[in-house]
Structure 1
Amino acid sequence: MYRYVELGDGADATIVDDTLACLDHARPLDAFDTPRVLDDNTYELAFDAWPLARDHILEHWNWHADKANLEPKVPKVLARAAEIVRANPPSGVELEASDRAVDTLQAPYPERILRTFRTVLGATDDPAEQAEHVLRVIRELGLQPYEAPEPLPEITDDDVHLVCWLALVQATSESRDSTGAEKDAEAARRRAALDEMTRDAEDLGLYD
């Protein structure tokens, strides 16, 4: 698990936990031509950064260890659709199938699916017809009852180990000209690098 910790002068630390963003920060723009710099102050700050990163990882992990946090938050349109099916089971449909449809609706589906249910519910004011439309959408989209992920085992800070770390320092005036144009170009290169890594991750199926 990656963490990027930015320690400001007297300000609260900024912690980034997105893997691609962390890798983008750790990727030097000048590759192997980037000067290696690690002064005593930066070295000491690493000892301040590690507890922050460790505690952030611990909090994030244990959030996923609480089963209550993993229960789906059902959007209003799906809660309404489930109530309609529950109160108006279509004729010719077995009770087990209706119950399964209600269970299927108890899930955090993406917006495109929510729009489909809004459309069919708005197509008629007849609850019986609405229930039939809802079951039809479930069949056509192949939706299945939602299964919440298994909670992670709870851990303590003793379970979080540092594998490696990298310190980043601002370029000095001798090593880099910090003009506005230079900063804009650097930001553009970082955005391009992050976009490239995002596309690679999508190609590998790491993002849905």
Structure 2
Amino acid sequence: MQNTIVTPKILALRLCGYFAVLIAVFASLATFVPMSQEFMPFGGRAVDVPATAQQIFQGDFGEQDAPSPWATRFDAAVFLVASLLGTIVLMIPITWVYMGIKRPQGYRKSFVEALIVLPICATTVVLLIQDSLALAFGLAALVAAVRFRVRLPDALDGIYVFAAICVGLASGIGYLGVAVVMTIFFCFASVILWGMDYGANPVETAKQARKLAELDDANAGRS
């Protein structure tokens, strides 16, 4: 995708196909595999694993009708895997839009990779903290102790970082459906604004056209 010219129209068609397949897969799972709905991070489903290691090995589960801690942990593991896979699936089209819009100016490969990985961390953090105030303060202290000196050259980069965090947070609290709707609106709004060339600056447009021509010449020379 880096070496091919992607227009807003082509990208919009690609997004339509991607989201159509994604919705079809979710609908098929819900229809033909009803049990999968129990593990999908939709509807704000929380994961709580209250059992201790001593309860597991001694068989002290409290009430007789209480679910086994092993079963609870299995459900939590499946929920975590589904949440993490959901973040990756949703971040792929967001990175497509980012690479298409930023192609004239250029973008860093590491930043695109970070956009996909960042929601994984956000989802895991939310699942770990849940309602624990102590863990929340501990995480705040840890983040304060580590200095992240990353300079974003464009305000648009910060928007995509924020979108990645939103996807991770929504998935972590079990609202992946909200993340899906947000991703669809975010991607198509970005593509529409890109296609309309909204807020274009003639000077900046000329610089981008010159840089894009140099990039095309370099790619032609390699081939």
The structure with higher relative contact order (CA 8 Å, sep 6+) is 2
Q: Which of the pair is proportionally richer in helix?
A: 2
Larger radius of gyration: 1
TM over 0.5: no
